[in-house]
């Protein structure tokens, strides 16, 4: 079975967020897909099968299957466009989060994702203990989102994984702040599912985009995830949907012997 490793939201290799993509004729067992994700030890491995005029897409982290992943979806569209259906410019994926559409436009791949405006909640003692710094605001959807005013805090933050895992709420921990160079910056941590830091997280922007669109009164924004690898996302707020655009580059092609 062919496996492609790509860097999403990147201009060149070793930037953005790496993901493995396995395009298959038929589904493997969940157990095998979990083992492949563990073996890859990347934040996500995508598995995709073509069914009629659409693709069925699933994502696995080393900790198990998840319901939404942006960078691996972007990477899957790139792989299909370059190696399987080279004339296609529109890709339709059926996923645990519903139907996701991706368009190819020149060097950019454009994802149409559900908007997930998180609910504002009160900060707890456990959150403060885990963060080590009091946020301006806290929000919750699938993940916890902590809003700060200091861009440098987000860039320089050093997490304590044990403390973050002890917080009951949320799967992931997202931190964000306004930016001088971009519209906003962020970092994303998922130690509960064995991904300490997700270098560039598309699904987190389903939260970031509606929040920052309201706060900045802007529909079109540029975001920078300020992890060590870094990545740039071109964002649009369309009400119930968000548009996330980025570039993808190929790192490697390999054969998995199963």
The Cβ-side half-sphere exposure at 91, using a 13 Å CA radius, reads 32
Strands 184-190 and 220-225: parallel
Give every CB contact of residue 207 below 8 A, 6+ residues apart in sequence. 116, 117, 118, 139, 141, 143, 145, 174
255 class by beta-carbon count within 10 Å (0-12 exposed, 13-18 middle, 19+ buried): exposed
With tokens 């919750």, the residue in question is 140
Tokens read off for 235: 């964002």
- φ/ψ of 80, rounded to 5, equals -60, -45
Give the closest residue to 127 by CA, choosing from 143, 115, 111, 112.
143
Cα(245)–Cα(214) distance, rounded to whole angstroms?
20
CA-based torsion, 238, 239, 241, 244: positive or negative:
positive
* Residue 51 annotated among the catalytic residues of the structure: no
DSSP conformation class of 144: E
Q: Which of 44, 110, 151, 197 is catalytic?
A: 44
Tokens read off for 45: 């491995």
Catalytic residue set: 44
């Amino acid at each position: 079975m062919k496996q492609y490793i790509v860097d999403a939201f990147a201009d060149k290799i070793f930037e953005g967020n790496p993901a493995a993509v396995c395009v298959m004729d038929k589904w493997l067992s969940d157990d095998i897909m979990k083992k492949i994700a563990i073996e890859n030890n990347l934040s996500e491995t995508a598995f995709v099968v073509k069914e009629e005029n659409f693709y069925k897409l699933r994502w696995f982290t080393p900790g198990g299957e998840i319901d939404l992943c942006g960078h691996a979806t972007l990477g899957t569209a790139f792989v299909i466009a370059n190696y399987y259906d080279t004339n296609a410019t529109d890709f339709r994926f059926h996923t645990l989060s519903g139907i996701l559409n991706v368009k190819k436009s020149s060097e950019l791949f454009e994802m149409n994702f559900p908007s997930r405006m998180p609910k504002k909640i009160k900060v707890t003692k456990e959150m403060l203990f885990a963060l080590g710094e009091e946020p301006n605001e806290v929000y919750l959807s699938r993940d916890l989102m902590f809003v700060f005013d200091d861009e440098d805090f987000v860039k320089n933050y050093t997490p304590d994984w044990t403390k973050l895992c002890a917080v009951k709420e949320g799967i992931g921990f997202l931190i964000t702040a306004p930016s001088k160079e971009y519209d906003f910056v962020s970092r994303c941590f998922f130690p509960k599912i064995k991904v300490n830091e997700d270098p560039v997280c598309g699904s987190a922007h389903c939260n970031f985009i509606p929040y920052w669109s309201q706060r900045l009164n802007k529909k079109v924004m540029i975001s920078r995830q300020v992890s060590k690898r870094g990545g740039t996302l071109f964002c649009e707020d369309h009400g119930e949907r968000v548009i996330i655009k980025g570039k993808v580059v190929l790192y490697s092609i390999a054969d998995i012997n199963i």
